Chain A
Amino acid sequence: MSAAEEVVAEGHEAVEAVPKRAMTLGTGTSLLVLAALLIVPMFVKNFIIFQMTMLLIYGLAVLALNILTGGSGQFSLGQSAFYAVGAYTSAVLMEHANINYALTIPISAAICFAFGYLFGKPALRLSGVYLALATFALATAMPQLLKLNFLEHWTGGVQGLVVTKPDAPFGLPMSQDMWLYYFTLVVTVAIYIFSVNLLRSRSGRAFMAIRDNEIAASSMGVNVSLYKTLAFGVSAGITGVAGSLGAIAVQFVAPDSYTITLAISLFLGMVVGGVGWLPGSFVGAAFIIFVPNMAESISKGLSGAVFGVLLFLVIYLVPHGARQVAILGQQLIGKLRKN
């Protein structure tokens, strides 16, 4: 077994630690979370609403990575590239072609799906750490590609593009932030339900069969190359949607927004949330948004070090991330009931 395969196998063991049905939350808990997400914005400041919107957006991006890594067992450090393509697609369409923001989202999804699918083709030959490196190259190349001179007319080059934030339609008495939050929430819930169903479907089982043992999967008749590239395409498509929403929420796109740091943050969010556990994506997103702020409030000069220590504690104490915490909580509740 090569070193690379070992890395992958290790990942699998982590994923295998729970039965596959436990990929989602129970119906009751899901509804409870949804209710909270619906009601809370009515009572908080616009700034908090904005943060919650960003949480959903990064959550979507982490979810996309989770489908790829947790579902089909492929690594990617290049999610920031797909995120950037989505963001720029929306920004360029909105600002140069005056297309409605809501319509730009399916367009981004389609473009990113195609991009991811095509990238998945050559990446088929790679696995484990080698695939991670190939995607890493994509992430480092993207900011520079966006600065290219012949694209500058559309992308605004290094200066970026300012995006106009949409008003609430039909004269709804809502701030722009609140409207965008509910809009994002609807998109997020739709994609979440789609992802859960995807992983429970025939295709999802094929993803997981490939993840667990590629040879076994292909001998059972799973078209390995098709499903691997498909996983890349779906993941890129969802990341593109997140990018589009991100561009609209932040009202600005620039190459510096989509560096390798973003890709690593998303990867980190996935690990902290629990690889392969979809609801964990949003916990992971919360981690990458709020923990740096917490670290900064503890020490400004050493915020990076504090963040490192917090991250280390999380990985050391709960290596399977939020999923492990959720399981522990469930067991605790179960015990209390028995007593």
Chain B
Amino acid sequence: MPAMHVRLGAFSAALVLAATLSTAASAQKKYDTGASDTEIKIGNIMPYSGPASAYGVIGKTEEAYFRKINAEGGINGRKINFVSYDDAYSPPKTVEQARKLVESDEVLLIFNSLGTPPNSAIQKYMNQKKVPQLFVATGATKWNDPKDFPWTMGWQPNYQSESQIYAKYILKNHPDAKIGVLYQNDDYGKDYLKGFKDGLGSKASMIIIEDSYEVSEPTIDSHIVRLKSSGADVFFNITTPKFAAQAIKKNAEIGWKPLHFLNNVSASIGSVIKPAGFENAQDIISSQYFKDPTDPQWKDDPAMKAWNEFLDKYYPEANRADASVMYGFIVSQGLVQVLKACGDDLTRANVMKQAASIKDFEPAGLLPGVKVNTSPTDFAPISQLQLIRFKGEAWERFGDVLSSDVGG
């Protein structure tokens, strides 16, 4: 077979094609279910309906991005067939959809399925079936566990590494701080809190008050008042966008001015800072790993231009202030990179092998200096963040790009 390929290449008029094929042609073509000479079938599960439906935009962006890839000739000549289903963020439905994708649609892998509970529900199944559960869209720490779950890989910086970065910063710059923590009472909030305490280590007693709220609460005003009255002078705000905006506003209303750390989940200018009021958000510290599309400093950035061109052509109705659109754009590039590296060996084992050997990959949209790196023992592709401080109407980066790898 290899010899035939070389001959075919040599005799065909497309000599350029032969040059690109020469490396791939030396290896035999190998396929698992879901891949063929013309197509790669990718599965995806998103909450298009239900309580987390705001994140459905990620799935739509990915679909648009793969349309762009297909229009530009596909990956090594193969088109991506992107099959995306709705699970309404309900774990039993996720199991049903994952089984449908694997057993009925016969996809090569499931890519960027969203949410911690849905992904937890299918993790065991995917690993039993030995089907890659690649670049899951959740910041939980447990996805970086190649020893027990070699078929599951995370993507974004996980919550624990992020809060460890804040803890290190506090220990270094404010060793006498009295810290108040407000967190959402679920896996996400508790993951952050754990990382923060681990980061403080023996100094965890610096936390003088921990308060939690339920997602179903209409407002968190009373929690903010309680935190203020505790006398804390550092505030670690582990909240989702709606509550983060409320907290920033309430702080200003009652005149509480602690050193305010805001988790990256809510660092969006468009959906948090602007509604809360720029004047109330001055000097808040957070962290980022990709460019906020609403941040004016990136207006003329080449990556942002590429992003805008892509949206103009393939997803014109997208809301450009939505960070999820940027997220989908970046993670899709990650998958394309892995599939390109697979060459003609499109087996599930090789997909995981290539996904676990990404070196210094910089997809368009990440902050300067943030790189994607994996290894057979490191299944946390992005683990770098940069501290940012809100000044005027934009985030200002400060300090170096920091990294912290935490395993699950």
Chain B residues 66 to 111 lying within 8 A of chain A, measured CB to CB, are 84-86, 88-92, 95-96, 99-100, 102-104
A257 touching B190, Cβ below 8 Å: no
B49 at the interface (CB under 8 A from A): yes
B107-153 residues with Cβ-Cβ distance < 8 A to A are 116-117, 120-125, 142
Contact check: which of B104, B125, B214 meets A45 at CB < 8 Å? B104
Residue of A46, A140, A147 near B185 (CB, 8 A) is: A147
B190 and A303 contact, CB distance less than 8 A: no
Give residues 135-152 of A contacting B (CB, 8 Å): 140, 144, 147
B149 to chain A: closest CB distance in Å?
A: 11
Asked if residues B91 and A304 are in contact (CB atoms below 8 Å), the reply is: no
Cβ of B368 within 8 Å of any chain A Cβ, yes or no, is no
B103→A256 contact, CB < 8 A: no
Q: Out of B89, B96, B123, B185, which one reaches A256, CB within 8 Å?
A: B89
Is A170 among interface residues, defined by CB-CB distance under 8 A?
no
Question: Are B121 and A252 touching (Cβ within 8 A)?
Answer: yes
| Residue numbers in B under 8 Å from A301 (CB-CB) | 48
A300 to B59, CA, bound (A): 11
Considering only CB atoms, which chain A residue lies closest to B184 in the complex?
A158
Give chain B nearest CB distance to A266 CB in angstroms: 13
Taking residues whose C-beta sits less than 8 angstroms from the other chain, chain A's interface range is 20 to 34
For residue A120, CB closer than 8 A to chain B, the reply is no
Partner of B48, one of A147, A157, A250, A303: A303
Instruction: Tell me, in angstroms, the Cα distance from A177 to B262 when the chains sit together.
Output: 46
Say whether, besides A246-B92, A256-B117, A158 and B100 are in contact (CB < 8 Å).
no
Interface residue A47 (Cβ < 8 Å from any Cβ of B): yes
Contact across chains for B120 and A300 when beta carbons are under 8 A apart: no
A254–B121 touching, CB < 8 Å? yes
Q: A254–B92 Cα gap in the complex (Å)?
A: 9
User: B186 in the interface, Cβ–Cβ < 8 Å?
Assistant: yes
Give bound CA distance, A259 to B52, whole Å: 14
Q: Contacts A46-B103, A256-B91, A303-B86; is A157 near B96 (CB within 8 Å)?
A: no
Query: In the complex, what residue of chain B is closest to A262 when comparing beta carbons?
Result: B90
Q: Which residue of the partner chain A has the closest CB to B48? A: A300
B216: chain A residues at CB < 8 Å are 140, 144
Does B187 lie at the interface of the complex (its beta carbon under 8 Å from any beta carbon of A)?
Answer: yes
Q: What per-residue 1/0 map shows which CB atoms of A155-198 lie under 8 Å from chain B?
A: 00111101000000000000000000000000000000000000
Chain B residues with Cβ below 8 Å from A259 are 90
Q: Is the interface of A mostly helix, strand, loop or mixed?
A: helix
Please encode chain A, from 250 to 271, with 1 for each CB lying within 8 Å of some chain B CB and 0 for all others: 1110101101011000000000
Say if the beta carbon of A51 comes within 8 Å of chain B. Answer: yes
Contact in complex: B103, A158 (CB < 8 Å): no
- A234–chain B nearest beta-carbon distance, Å: 24
Interface residue from B86, B121, B186 paired with A250 (Cβ < 8 Å):
B121
A48: nearest chain-B partner, CB-CB: B104
Chain B 196-228 interface 0/1 with A at a Cβ cutoff of 8 Å (1 = within): 000000000000000000101000000000000
**Measured CA separation A261–B90 after assembly (Å):** 9
Q: Is B99 within 8 A of A50, CB to CB? A: yes
Contact, CB under 8 Å: B125 / A251: yes
| Known contacts A46-B103, A158-B117, A252-B120, A51 near B88 by CB under 8 Å | no
Q: A288-319 toward B: CB 8 Å interface, digit per residue (1/0)? A: 01001000100011011000000000000000
Complex Cα distance, B95 from A257, in Å, reads 11
| Contact flag A254-B49 (CB < 8 Å), given A47-B99, A147-B186, A158-B186 | no
Q: Does B302 contact A (CB under 8 A)?
A: no
0/1 string, B42-53, CB within 8 A of A gives 1: 000000111000
- Among B84, B95, B102, B187, the residue within 8 A (CB) of A252 is B95
Which residues of the other chain, B, contact A60 by a CB distance below 8 angstroms? Answer: none
The answer for the CA separation of A325 and B84 in the assembled complex, in Å, is 34
Tally of chain B residues near chain A (CB < 8 A): 33
Complex partner residue of B96 from A45, A50, A147, A304, CB under 8 angstroms: A50
Bound form: Cα–Cα A158–B159 in Å: 15
Whether, in the assembled complex, A278 has its beta carbon less than 8 Å from a beta carbon of chain B, the answer is no
- Complex: how many Å from CA A300 to CA B83? 11
Closest B residue to A301 using CB positions: B48
Cα A45 to Cα B101 with chains together (Å) = 13
Kindly state whether residue A54 has any CB partner on chain B within 8 Å.
Answer: yes
With A144-B214, A158-B186 as known contacts, state yes or no: A54 contacts B48, CB within 8 Å. Answer: no
Known: A45-B104, A47-B99, A147-B186. A251 touches B48 (CB 8 A): no
Contact between B91 and A257, CB atoms less than 8 A apart: yes
Tell me the smallest distance from the CB of A18 to a CB of chain B, in Å. Answer: 33
Check if B96 sits within 8 Å of A158, measured CB to CB: no
Tell me if B187 and A159 are in contact (CB < 8 A). Answer: yes
Closest residue to A297 on the B side, CB-wise? B85
Q: Are B92 and A257 in contact (CB under 8 A)?
A: yes
- Which residues of A in the span 50-74 have a Cβ within 8 Å of any Cβ on B? 50-51, 54
> Is the CB–CB distance between B187 and A261 below 8 Å?
no
Q: Which of these, B90, B125, B187, contacts A157 with CB under 8 Å?
A: B187
Q: Nearest B residue to A257 by beta-carbon distance? A: B91
A256 touching B90 by the CB < 8 A rule?
yes
A292 to B100 alpha-carbon distance, docked (Å):
14
Q: Which residue of B lies closest to A50 (CB)?
A: B99
Instruction: Tell me which of A46, A160, A261 contacts B88 (CB under 8 A).
Output: A261
Q: What's the least CB distance linking A194 to chain B, in Å?
A: 25
Q: How far is the CB of B138 from chain A (nearest CB, A)?
A: 12
Q: Are B103 and A159 in contact, with the CB atoms below 8 A?
A: no
- 1/0 contact string of B336-349 vs chain A (CB within 8 Å): 00000000000000
Cα–Cα distance between A187 and B265 once the two chains are bound (Å): 45
CA distance A147 to B185 in the complex (A): 8
A155 → chain B, closest Cβ, in Å? Answer: 13
- How far apart are the CA atoms of A54 and B102 in the complex, in Å? 17
In the assembled complex, which residues on chain A have CB atoms less than 8 Å from the CB atom of B49? 303-304
Q: In the complex, are the beta carbons of B91 and A254 less than 8 A apart?
A: yes
Q: How far is the CA of A140 from the CA of B216 in the complex (A)?
A: 10
With A45-B103, A296-B86, A301-B48 as contacts: A254 and B117 at CB distance below 8 Å: yes
Supposing A296-B85, A300-B84 touch, asked if A160 and B117 sit within 8 A by C-beta, the answer is yes
In the assembled complex, the Cα of A46 lies from the Cα of B50 at a distance in Å of 28
B interface, CB within 8 angstroms of A: 48-50, 84-86, 88-92, 95-96, 99-100, 102-104, 116-117, 120-125, 142, 185-187, 190, 214, 216
- Would you mind naming 8 contact pairs between A and B with Cβ atoms under 8 Å apart? A47-B103, A48-B104, A54-B96, A159-B142, A160-B120, A259-B90, A261-B50, A304-B49
Chain A contact residues, CB within 8 Å of chain B: 45-48, 50-51, 54, 140, 144, 147, 157-160, 162, 246, 250-252, 254, 256-257, 259, 261-262, 289, 292, 296, 300-301, 303-304
Add 5 more A-B contacts to A47-B103, A47-B104, A256-B90 (CB < 8 A).
A48-B104, A251-B125, A252-B92, A254-B91, A296-B85
CB-based closest 3 A-B pairs: A47-B103, A252-B121, A158-B187
